[in-house]
Structure 1
Amino acid sequence: MTVAGKMPMTSKPAELNYDGHKIEFAVTEGSEGERGIDINKLRDATGLVTIDNGFMNTAATSSAVTFLDGEKGILRYRGYPIEELAEKSTFIEVSYLLLYGELPTAARLKWFEGQIAKHSETKEGIKTIIKAFPKDAHPMGVASAAIVALSGFYPEYAEGDLTEAQKDEVFPQLMAQLKNIAAFQHRASQGKDLIEAQPKKFDYVTDFLFQMTGKDVDPEVSKALNILLILHADHEQNCSTSSVRLVGSSKAN
């Protein structure tokens, strides 16, 4: 669970009366009107901790990336309604939006696409790992192993926090490699030769479909997959996001 936005403080605090003492806690408000009690000082002030099985009452962080309300059918990326993005944007543009906080200008989009193309070649060792799995191996298991293995081929990114310049390399690099890994796994599971990326010939989504099938791609199929990728680009604070944030916070590789 997250609280959307930067969480400004409300004027009225929450009060806890315990053992003859009254402790006040700030109440913050997200961009969608949701409110949360900031209990960061609870343990220092009282010696107590909270018990919240399943974290059903806990907002793990504040975020300006995604707002999701499944019951009301609302999904926004960086404040943009998903309907607008699905109609007017490409998956690459939406990926840039999620990563950098704003939709790209024409110049930045050209740069981003160029960076993805620059990193479109996958190391032979990664291909060997993918082909070593049984044909009936679960795709996520293969993808996980290949993605983890990338750190061994790019050790310069494995130590410490990334600089802004390194992020400009890593973000498009992962975009390129994830596409290749997914397509390679699909081909390997069918016992077929792997098809290299052709970024000079195809757009990102069409290239992915060609890498999987080796056949001409129907523009309508490419358009449909583009929309599906936009819809699934981010899902707020789900289980996988929580796991990555938890492990990443310890600076583990």
Structure 2
Amino acid sequence: MTPASPTPPDASRRSRGSIRKTACCLHRGYPVDQLARQCDFLEVAYIMLNGDAPDEASYQTFRETITRHTLVHEQIARMCSGFRRDSHPMALMCALVGALAAFYHDVLDVENPQHRALAATRLLSKMPTIAAMSYKYTIEQPAAYPRNDLSYAGNFLQMLFAIPAEKYVLNPVIEQAMNQILVLHADHGQCASTTTVRAAGSSGANLFACVAAGLASLWGPMHGGANESSMRMLEEIESVDQVPAFLRQAKRDPQAFRRLGFGNSRYRHRDPRADILRETSHRVLAEVGMSDRLLQVAMALEDVALTDPYFVDNGLSPSVDFYTAVILKAMNLPSSMFAVVTAVGRTVGWVAHWNEMHQAPLTIYRPRQIYVGEGYRDYVSRRGERSAELR
């Protein structure tokens, strides 16, 4: 294998998006905890796409642009009827987002900055609509149309939970929690799904196709599906009384425990995003009540994981995936929707990375591999004839 080049990577492979320090995560240089506590999602989206925080006029223009593109083509909505009702919502997401290229083929020239900008606007606008539509279809409810008077997070919530028979009233605590989940999942550096988006984009593929590829990667249980794995873990613990036994087992296999929503290999200590959602989860649980067994188990797990020296010393504190699962469960969303919600937040990060690639001439990705297969050998046919005998 050719040794790694000492020269820096070309511009299409550099990123100005998110970086991670020992106990800090930055979006375009802004600490993510400040953004999560002070900004709504569209302000963070503006920062991710433009590099700097907007002034009031820029924010209002951006917000209006995104808000007025939230409707999807009715044929996209009818596409859902071709899927089974028990389909995983992420399966619908992959299909519907990829299909956007068939409806918005007027913005597929990736060399055209105006095409790229409009494609980004359409995707960021329509992602919550498609996500909610995927959910509504799987629970056999009619899709709810977006409302222009609501925030990005609030609109997403009403499309998830509104029904025709009554008016949906937003709970401000739940709306703030959803906003923070979207902000904290907006980007996380060169993770698997972002790498997938950039790899697909390096060939010159359009944004909708690239994000559909990113969705498929995010769906994996070691990535966006970690939220779902966390909830399955909680479902296996029948009562709070069983938490100590579960944690004793976790100490024998800490890597498996890490995959279930505890610890993050990207941080030496605690994930700063988890600290924010920990506070938020407690507010949400206080708002909705904690009568649900799973939520009681989750809080018992959290208490031990934050105080037991073994978990503290090994960096196995509850992660952002754990708290995201707890909050979404408290909102009455099924675990199959956890990766979908993550995808709605992560879309702006994918778009920002994809846009960034196009600021310089594209270089197609071709990762190096170390071949460990067989060496040269002659082919032997099914009849036992060697290659030389066949000539």
Among 109, 129, 135, the alignment partner of 2:59 is: 109
Query: What TM-score results when the alignment is normalised by the length of structure 2?
Result: 0.48
Match in the other structure for 1:217: 170
Letter in 2 for 1:121: L
Find the partner of 2:195 among 235, 242, 246: 242
Deviation at 1:145, TM superposition (A): 0.7
- 1:192 aligned to 2:141? yes
Deviation at 1:124, TM superposition (A): 1.1
Higher relative contact order, chain-length normalized (CA < 8 Å, sep 6+): 2
CA RMSD, 1 decimal: 2.0
Q: In the aligned structure 1, how far is the partner of 2:198 from the partner of 2:15?
A: 13
CA distance, structure 1, for counterparts of residue 174 and residue 68 of structure 2? 26
> Of residues 59, 62, 68 in structure 2, which corresponds to 1:118?
68
2-structure distance, mates of 1:243, 1:213 = 31
> CA shift at 1:39, angstroms?
6.5
Q: Find the aligned partners of 1:178 and 1:227 in 2 and give their Cα distance.
A: 17
- State the SS of the aligned residue for 2:78: helix
Corresponding residue for 1:154? 104
CA distance in 2, matches of 1:148, 1:108: 30
| Cα shift at 1:159 | 2.7
Rounded to whole Å, the distance in 1 between the matches of 2:112 and 2:50 is: 14
1:73/1:128 CA distance change after superposition, 3 Å: farther
Q: How does 1:22-41 map to 2 (within 5 A)?
A: 37-38=6-7
Q: Match of 1:54? A: none
Segments of structure 1 that go 5 or more residues without pairing to the other structure are: 1-24, 26-36, 41-59
Alignment partners' CA distance in 2, 1:220 and 1:180: 21
Amino acid in structure 1 at the alignment position of 2:7: D
Residues in 1 aligned to 2:159 and 2:37: alpha-carbon distance in whole angstroms = 25
Distance 1:73 1:236 in 2: 15
- Structure 1 residues 218, 239: closer, same or farther in 2, change over 3 A? same
Counterpart CA distance in 2 for 1:218 and 1:111 is 26
Higher helix proportion (structure 1 or 2): 2
The alpha-carbon deviation at position 153 of structure 1 amounts to 0.5
Deviation per residue, 1:59-104 (Å, 9 max, x gap): x9332111024xx332100000011111111111001111111111
1:17-40 CA distance string (max 9 Å, x none) = xxxxxxxx7xxxxxxxxxxx4377
Counterpart pick for 2:45 among 88, 95, 99? 95
Distance change (3 Å), C-alpha of 1:251 and 1:62: closer
Q: Is the 8 A contact 2:129 2:146 kept in 1?
A: yes
Alpha-carbon distance between aligned partners in 2 of 1:86 and 1:252, rounded to the nearest angstrom: 32
Equivalent residue number for residue 80 of structure 2: 130
Output the CA distance in 2 between the equivalents of 1:166 and 1:157.
Answer: 4
CA distance in 2, matches of 1:222, 1:92: 14
2:153 aligns with 205
3-state SS of 2:186 partner: coil
In structure 2, how many angstroms separate the alpha carbons of the residues matched to 1:100 and 1:194? Answer: 32
Contact 1:122 1:180 in 2 (8 A): yes
Partner-residue secondary structure (3-state), 2:14: strand
Could you tell me which residue of structure 2 aligns to residue 44 of structure 1?
none
User: Retained in 1: the 8 A contact 2:44–2:183?
Assistant: yes
Conservation of the 8 A alpha-carbon contact between 1:115 and 1:173:
no
Q: In the alignment, is the contact (CA less than 8 A) between 1:135 and 1:189 conserved in 2?
A: yes
Distance 1:63 1:39, change over 3 A: closer
Match of 2:15 among 54, 57, 63: 63
Write the deviation string for residues 184-229 of structure 1: whole angstroms up to 9, x where unpaired. 1111111000010011x21111111011101322011000110111
Change (3 A) 1:175 1:161: same
Change (3 A) 1:160 1:62: closer
SS in structure 2 opposite 1:63?
A: coil
Secondary structure, aligned partner of 2:86? coil
What is the identity percentage for the equivalent residue pairs of Structure 1 and Structure 2?
29
Equivalent-residue separation in structure 1 for 2:20 and 2:84 (angstroms) = 37
- Which structure dedicates a bigger proportion of its chain to strand? 1
> Which residue in the other structure is 2:313 paired with?
none
Deviations 1:46-67 (A, max 9, x none): xxxxxxxxxxxxxx93321110
Instruction: Quote the Cα distance in structure 1 between the aligned partners of 2:65 and 2:98.
Output: 21
CA deviation string 1:227-246 (max 9, x = no partner): 11100001110111111111
2:125 aligned residue (165, 173, 176): 176
Show the counterpart of 1:73: 23
| Residue pair 2:110, 2:116 contacting (<8 A) in 1 also | no
